[in-house]
Amino acid sequence: MFGKILVANRGEIAVRIIRTAREMGIETVAVYSDADRAALHVELADEAYSLGPAAPSQSYLNSEKIIDCARRSGAEAIHPGYGFLAENGGFARSVVAAGLEWIGPHPGAIDAMGDKLRARQLMHDAGVPIVPGARDAVPDARAARAAAKTYGLPLALKAAGGGGGKGLKVAHSIEEVESAFETARREAEAYFNSGTIYAERYLDNPKHVELQVLADRHGNAVHVGERDCSLQRRHQKLWEETPAHIPKNVREAMRAAGVRAARAIEYDSVGTIECLVSGDAFYFLEMNTRIQVEHTVSEMISGLDLIREQIRVAAGEPLGYTQAEIRFRGFAIEARVNAEDPMQNFRPAAGTIGAYREPGGLGVRIDSAAYPGWTIPEQYDSLIAKLVVWAPTRAQAIARLLRALDEYAIEGVPTTLPLLRALCDYAPVAEATYGTATLEAFAHTWRLAVQNGVARGAQARRVTAATAPARPRRLAPRLGAMRTRGTSASGNDVTSPMHGLVVEIGVAVGDTVAEGQVVAVIEAMKMMNEIRAQRAGTVTAVHVGAGTGVESGTPLLTLS
C-alpha cells in the first residue's frame, strides 16, 4: 500500500480523498492555487504545495507543476479526483512515466471512453445498446441535416471529446440544425480543442440512469448499483438517487451490460456507465473514467468506500469479494447545494459565505469544503456541498432530505437550497416519474410562483418560505434579486451579469434581434450561461468576441 499520495484536485472531493487516505494510514499532499490558499483541503492534508495563479490552466490543469510537487513531496501516487485532469490520458501517462502510480484506470481506457465516437463503437461491439445515431463524425451542417433526416428529430449534436452538457446542442426542427451544429462545434473547440461533432437521436424526457462499476487489475469486475440522475439543469445534475425507479428487466440488463462493458476495455478502477432509459429500453450514453460526484449514494446503500477501493486497486490489490457479496440496503439521495441563484435561471454566484450551519442526525451525510468566511472562487465550479441522506424506504429518504434541507443555513450567497426544498414536495419527484426535462420546467413554474406570490399546497409553503423572514432559531438562505437572468436594464447595452469567459457572440453589427433572444453565451464557474437581449432592436456595436474575459456589468453589445 502507498505511504503518501498527492491529491491533484480541490474542494470537497479533495477533502473526501484526504479523509479516506487518513483512515488507511496514508499521508496526503495537497496542491492549491492562489485562490485556494485558505481552502479546507489545504488545512487537512499533511503537507501542501502552491501551484500559482487561480486560472485552472496555470494551476490545477498544469500537469508539469503537479508532477513536480509530487516528486518534491515524495508522494508515490497521484489521485486526480474528478474534473480537471481526471480523464486526461496524457496526464495519466505522464504520471506513470515519472515513476508514480496513477489512481485511476489505465490510460488506454481513458482514451477509448474519452472519444465519444470510439466509445459508441466499442460499446456496440460489446453488445451494449447505443442511442440511434451516427458512428462517424458529422463534418458540416449539410451532413448534420442529412443525419436529422436519417435519425429523426429532435437531433442532438454533440462534441466527440465532450461531456457535462458542453458542446451539446439540440435541433427540434430542420431549420435549427445548421445553427445547432455551428454552436456545438464552436463550444467543442473552446472547451476541448476539437471541433469534432457527432449526431444522435435526442430522446425527449428519458431517465438518465448510470451504473457504478468497479474493477481491479486481476480480471475482477462488479457493479455497485445504478443511480437516477435525471433531475438536471443545462444537462448538469442537481439531484441523484439510488436505486433508480426503472423496470426490473431494464435494471438487470443494464447491470449485466455495464460489467460486460468494463471487461471489454479491461477496466481497472471505479467508473460510471451512463445510460438513457426510455420505457423498457436503455441506451449507452458515455462512460466516465473516474470517481463520480454522486458516488456517495452508491456508498450509502452498499457500505463500500469507493475511494478506498480505488486506492486499493491502484496499489495492485484484488477486490477480494464477488458480486453476490455486495448487498444493497435502503434508499439514498444526494442533493447538490450550489452557489447559484435559481431565481435567475441558476446563475452562478461566487462570493463569501457568512453564517453557515450544516444539518446532521441519523442517515445524514455532508461532503463539503465550506466554512463560515470561505470565499467561493469564481474561477471554479459552484458546488458548495453535497447533502446525502439514507433511509430504509424512499419516502423516508425524501422526508429526511426535506428535514435536513430545512436545517441547512447558508448566508452570503444565493444557493439552490430553496428549489431543492420545493422539489421534495413535487409530485413527479415524490412518485419517481421524473425525467431529464422535468427540473427545468418545474424551475420555471417555481420562479413564477415565487414572483407572483402564489400559494398552493405544501409546495407553495416551501416556495413562500424561501423568501419569507426567517423562522425562529433558523437562518434563511437568501435568494438575491428577482429578475430575468442574462438581460440588462442599462438602456441600449446588453451587459454581462457575471464574471466569466465569452464562449460565443451570436449576432453581428446590423442584425435585428427580438426581446429575449439569445445573443451571447458566457461560461462562469464551469456553467454555460445564455445572455438574452432585454429588448428588441438592431445591433449597432459588438464590444467583445469569443475568448474574451468579462466582469459583471461589462457591455457585450449595443442596440439601437
Interval 72-110: pLDDT, tens: 999 999 999 999 999 999 999 999 999 999 999 999 999
* From-to residues of CATH 3.40.50.20 in the chain: 4-103
Which pLDDT band holds residue 164 (cuts at 50, 70, 90)? low
Cα–Cα distances (Å) from 128 to 155, 162, 274, 452, in that order, read 21, 20, 12, 48
Q: What is the DSSP letter of 24?
A: T
* From-to residues of CATH 2.40.50.100 in the chain: 493-559
Cα–Cα distances (Å) from 344 to 311, 381, 416, 487, in that order, read 41, 17, 11, 10
Which residue carries 486526480 as its cell?
80
Q: Examine the pLDDT at 224 and tell me if it is beyond 60.
A: yes
* From-to residues of CATH 3.30.470.20 in the chain: 222-465
CA separation for the pair 365, 344 (Å, rounded): 28
Q: Which of 88-92, 118-122, 186-190 has the lowest mean pLDDT?
A: 186-190
Chain center to CA of 258: 21
In the beta sheet, which residues pair with residue 198?
158
Please state which architecture CATH assigns to domain 493-559: Beta Barrel (2.40)
Q: Which residue has the higher pLDDT, 333 or 475?
A: 333
Q: Which residue has the higher pLDDT, 192 or 414?
A: 414
In the beta sheet, which residues pair with residue 171?
155
Which residue type occupies 502? V
Q: Which of 165-169, 264-268, 385-389 has the lowest mean pLDDT?
A: 165-169
Q: What percent of the chain has pLDDT over 70?
A: 92
Q: What is the pLDDT of residue 235?
A: 85
Cα–Cα distances (Å) from 94 to 64, 78, 79, 107, 509, in that order, read 9, 11, 13, 10, 46
Q: What is the pLDDT of residue 334?
A: 98
Maximum average pLDDT range among 124-138, 161-175, 310-324, 505-519: 310-324
pTM of the model: 0.85
Q: What is the pLDDT of residue 427?
A: 97
Which pLDDT band holds residue 474 (cuts at 50, 70, 90)? very low
3-state helix, strand, coil in the chain (%, to 5): 30, 30, 40
**What cell does 429 get?**
419527484
Class of 4-103 in CATH: alpha beta
CA separation for the pair 454, 461 (Å, rounded): 10
Which residue carries 495563479 as its cell?
53
Q: Examine the pLDDT at 357 and tell me if it is beyond 60.
A: yes
Which residue type occupies 74? G
Which pLDDT band holds residue 454 (cuts at 50, 70, 90)? low
Q: Is 558 exposed, middle or buried (0-12, 13-18, 19+ CB in 10 A)?
A: middle
Q: What is the pLDDT of residue 553?
A: 81
Exposure string over 222-247, b if 16+ CB within 10 A, otherwise e: bbbbbbbbbbbbbebbbbbbbbbbbe
Contact 116, 110 (CB under 8 A): no
Q: Examine the pLDDT at 358 and tell me if it is beyond 70.
A: yes
Q: Examine the pLDDT at 47 and tell me if it is beyond 50.
A: yes
Rounded to the nearest 5 degrees, what angle is found at the Cα of 342, between the Cα atoms of 245 and 502? 110
Which residue carries 445591433 as its cell?
539
* From-to residues of CATH 3.30.1490.20 in the chain: 132-201
DSSP letters for 156-198 = EEEEEEEETTEEEEEESSGGGHHHHHHHHHHHHHHHHS---EE
CA separation for the pair 156, 133 (Å, rounded): 9
| Pick from 500, 502, 493: nearest CA to 534 | 493
Q: What is the pLDDT of residue 165?
A: 72
Phi, then psi, of 488 in degrees rounded to 5: -125, 140
Q: What is the pLDDT of residue 318?
A: 98
Chain center to CA of 153: 26
Phi, then psi, of 303 in degrees rounded to 5: 80, 0
Q: What is the pLDDT of residue 550?
A: 79
CA separation for the pair 302, 327 (Å, rounded): 6
Q: Which of 33-47, 380-394, 538-552 has the lowest mean pLDDT?
A: 538-552
CA separation for the pair 193, 188 (Å, rounded): 7
Q: What is the DSSP letter of 253?
A: H
Q: What is the pLDDT of residue 74?
A: 98
Q: What is the pLDDT of residue 478?
A: 34
Q: What is the pLDDT of residue 528?
A: 66
Q: For residue 53, count other CB atoms closer than 10 A to its CB.
A: 14
In the beta sheet, which residues pair with residue 539?
559
Q: Examine the pLDDT at 464 and tell me if it is beyond 50.
A: no
Mutual angle of helices 306-314 and 11-23, in 10-degree steps: 70
CATH of 132-201, one of 3.20.20.150, 3.30.1490.20, 1.20.1560.10, 3.40.640.10: 3.30.1490.20
CA separation for the pair 94, 90 (Å, rounded): 6
**What cell does 229 get?**
440522475
Which are the contacts of 190, defined by CB distance < 8 A and separation ≥ 6? 503, 546, 547
Which are the contacts of 150, defined by CB distance < 8 A and separation ≥ 6? none
Averaged pLDDT of the chain:
90
Q: Examine the pLDDT at 295 and tell me if it is beyond 60.
A: yes
Phi, then psi, of 171 in degrees rounded to 5: -105, 120
CATH of 222-465, one of 3.30.470.20, 3.40.1280.10, 3.40.50.11890, 3.50.50.60: 3.30.470.20
